[in-house]
Amino acid sequence: MQAKRVFLLVALTATLETPLVASIRVAVQAVPRRTRAVRHSVGQRLMWIGAHPDDEGLVVPIIANECAQNASACRFLVFTHGERGDCALVSGCGDLGSLRATEMMKAAALLNADLVLWTFSDVGENVDATWSAEAGGHEKLIDQISRAVADFNPTIVYTFDPNHGSTCHPAHRAVGELVLEAISQERSPDLILIETVAIFAGNGIEFSSAAKDAVEVDVSDQWDYLIRDVQAHTSQFTPQQVESLRATPIEKRRAFIFRSPLPLQPEYTFHCDQ
């Protein structure tokens, strides 16, 4: 995630005919009309694709139950080690890339998820060009992503919405664009884009939707997994931030998602400069 002030949470969506939403509808009676609980149907294979160690916090409260209950249900694909991120440890982080790789392994283990951790450079500009050069060309980069998806054979892939990347971090937006390009060449899986934005205000974190028409998901029953995930990334989150997550009121424990393809004209309320 972007260390600065914005962290994110999730996204998820689906059309009414999918098993995911069909089961969601059953679970939602007691909450406001737009809000859904998350209940993936049995046998789903869930894949998160992000830019940095800790980005998966956006999707953890949506998929954690399935990951925990089925050892082969979840895989995280992370493009970089996040070696140029911030360090939240008073004692310093030393080799930040190595430390964050270790934290990412811990986080994946907590979630019972496979981890594929790539070594593309942690850049904040010219992301596509940099990663394409490192992969041997743009087509090879897309092919590498496609093969990684095919290798796991997911039923649902979660990633960033390239329109904002949840924090406007260029690498988040690039991952979203690259995944969309790679998966558009396939018949499956379903693709779900994260619309959750989390703003860091002081030591607190507030969650909101990047778009008026995104699907709001009640993730209160999996919130503890988010806290555990964040605690695994000790170089990125202070104890105060962890406590603020723990103190988030139950009615604010929400994630927001769109299913790809996006609505024709999404009503975004969260915008990036470029």
Please report, as ranges, the residues that interact with Zn ion according to CB under 5 A.
1, 51-52, 55
Task: Name the residue nearer to Zn ion (CB basis): 51 or 255.
Answer: 51
Q: Which is nearer to Zn ion, 28 or 85 (CB)?
A: 85
Rounded to the nearest whole angstrom, what is the least distance from the CB of residue 8 to Zn ion in the complex? 8
Neighbours of 264 (CB within 10 A): 5
Residue nearest to Zn ion (CB): 52
CB 74 within 8 A of CB 185: no
Report, in Å, the least distance between residue 108 CB and Zn ion. 16
Q: Which is nearer to Zn ion, 28 or 96 (CB)?
A: 96
- Minimum CB–partner distance for residue 150 and Zn ion (Å): 25
Tell me the Cα Rg of the chain.
Answer: 17
Query: Rounded to the nearest whole angstrom, what is the least distance from the CB of residue 165 to Zn ion in the complex?
Result: 8
Q: Between residues 36 and 52, which has the closer beta carbon with respect to Zn ion?
A: 52
Smallest distance from the beta carbon of 51 to Zn ion, in angstroms?
5
User: What is the nearest approach in angstroms of Zn ion to the Cβ of residue 88?
Assistant: 14
Minimum distance between the CB of residue 170 and Zn ion, rounded to whole angstroms?
Answer: 10
> Which residues does 2 contact at the CB level (< 8 Å), separation at least 6?
167, 168, 169, 172
How many angstroms separate the CA atoms of 113 and 72, rounded?
7
Q: Which is nearer to Zn ion, 49 or 145 (CB)?
A: 49
170 vs 189, beta carbon nearer Zn ion: 170
- Tokens linked to 47: 């894949």
In the bound state with Zn ion, the residue whose beta carbon lies nearer, of 39 and 52, is 52
